[in-house]
């Protein structure tokens, strides 16, 4: 699939591989310095994607926070923040979620053909709902995003979405942050579930950077030849 956007996956997890806990509260895994690093990564992308479960559970803003980075984007002829992208099979999205209400940039919702009508009823007034076929695949989403001029996509989770991009072999780079504590609760979500991943004991991914950022550690993995370094 030539011409698809460059895909950068970003995830923070506990030492034991959990990306959240099982409580109703949002679990903070990164620290302030790392969140600023993530802000810079966001600012360098054309679109940011999260799964619908993350929209519902975390209610993220998905904006570039730094005013300087926003201004630099605008000076380059770009909107202050990247476009926001989500995917849903249920169409259960709340139009008052911050994904839709915060920021002036485009909001894209990909869904299977069968729920396009329902999804448009839910969020059609605040987002562009795209019929992505059935089932929705990362390839279909990437092809559509490429057609909308997205050259660089940041996928911020959750685990279901990360797992699909990894197993589909369409991830170019992974930023994995490990926070210095355990969650220790199997009811909590993990980074990825089961799947046939292109990287296994016989085909190891390439580490391009390891960096301590305060009390967390970032490892950057190259997952394709498109990843520099
Ligand atoms: N630590 C981190 O870096 C980080 C980052 C982000 C999120 N999280 C955490 O991750 C958890 C959520 O992860 P998750 O794995 O449960 O969910 P998720 O990946 O955020 O979203 C999964 C949902 O996305 C939709 N979806 C995914 N693939 C689809 C496809 N191919 N076709 C149609 N719809 C599709 C479905 O939505 P519907 O249910 O609407 O059908 C599915 O239930 C939360 O606890 C959140 O806090 C952690």
Distance CA 62, CA 142 (A): 19
Is the pLDDT confidence value at 90 over 80? yes
Query: Per-residue DSSP letters for the chain?
Result: -TTPPEEEEEEEE-TTSBSS-SSSSPPP-S-HHHHHHHHHHHHT-SEEEEEHHHHHHH--------HHHHHHHHHTT--SS-EEEEE-SS----TTSHHHHS-SS-EEEEE-GGGHHHHHHHHTTTSEEEE--SS--HHHHHHHHHHTT--EEEE---HHHHHHHHHTT---EEEEEE-SS----TTSPBS--S---S-BTTBPPEEEEEEEETTEEEEEEE-STTS--
CA of 24 to the centre of ligand 1 (A): 16
Please state the atom number of ligand 1 nearest to the C-alpha of residue 58: 47
Residue 30: predicted pLDDT: 97
Pocket test for ligand 1, best of 158, 162, 164, 216 (most atoms within 8 A of CB): 158
pTM for this prediction: 0.97
Per-residue pLDDT of 204-229, as tens digits, reads: 999 999 999 999 999 999 999 999 98
Going by pLDDT thresholds of 50, 70 and 90, the confidence category of residue 1 is very low
Residue 218: predicted pLDDT: 98
Pocket lined around ligand 1, Cβ cut-off 6 Å: 11-12, 19-20, 29, 50-54, 57-58, 87-90, 92, 135-136, 156-161, 164, 189
Kindly report the average pLDDT of the chain as a whole number. 97
Query: Percentage of the chain surpassing pLDDT 90?
Result: 97
**pLDDT of 129-185, one tens digit each?**
999 999 999 999 999 999 999 999 999 999 999 999 999 999 999 999 999 999 999
The tens digit of pLDDT for each residue in 183-208 reads: 999 999 999 999 999 999 999 999 99
């Amino acid at each position: 699939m030539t011409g698809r956007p460059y895909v950068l996956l970003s995830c923070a997890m506990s030492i034991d591989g959990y990306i959240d806990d099982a409580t109703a509260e949002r679990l903070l895994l990164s620290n302030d310095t790392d969140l600023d690093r993530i802000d810079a990564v966001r600012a360098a992308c054309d679109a940011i994607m999260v799964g619908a479960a993350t929209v519902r559970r975390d209610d993220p803003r998905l904006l570039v926070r730094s005013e300087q980075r926003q201004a630099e984007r605008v000076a380059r002829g770009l909107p202050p923040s990247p476009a926001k992208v989500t995917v849903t099979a249920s169409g259960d999205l709340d139009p008052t979620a911050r994904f839709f209400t915060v920021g002036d940039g485009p909001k894209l919702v990909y869904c299977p053909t069968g729920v396009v009508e329902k999804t448009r009823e839910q969020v059609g007034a605040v987002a562009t709902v795209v019929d992505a076929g059935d089932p929705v695949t990362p390839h279909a989403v990437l092809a559509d995003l490429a057609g909308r001029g997205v050259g660089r996509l940041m996928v911020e989770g959750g685990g279901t979405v990360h797992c699909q991009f990894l197993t589909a072999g369409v991830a170019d780079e992974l930023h994995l942050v490990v926070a210095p504590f355990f969650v220790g609760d199997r009811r909590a979500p993990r980074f990825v579930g089961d799947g046939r991943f292109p990287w296994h004991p016989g085909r190891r991914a390439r580490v391009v950077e390891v960096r301590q950022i305060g009390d967390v550690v970032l490892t950057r993995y190259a997952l394709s030849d498109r990843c520099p370094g």
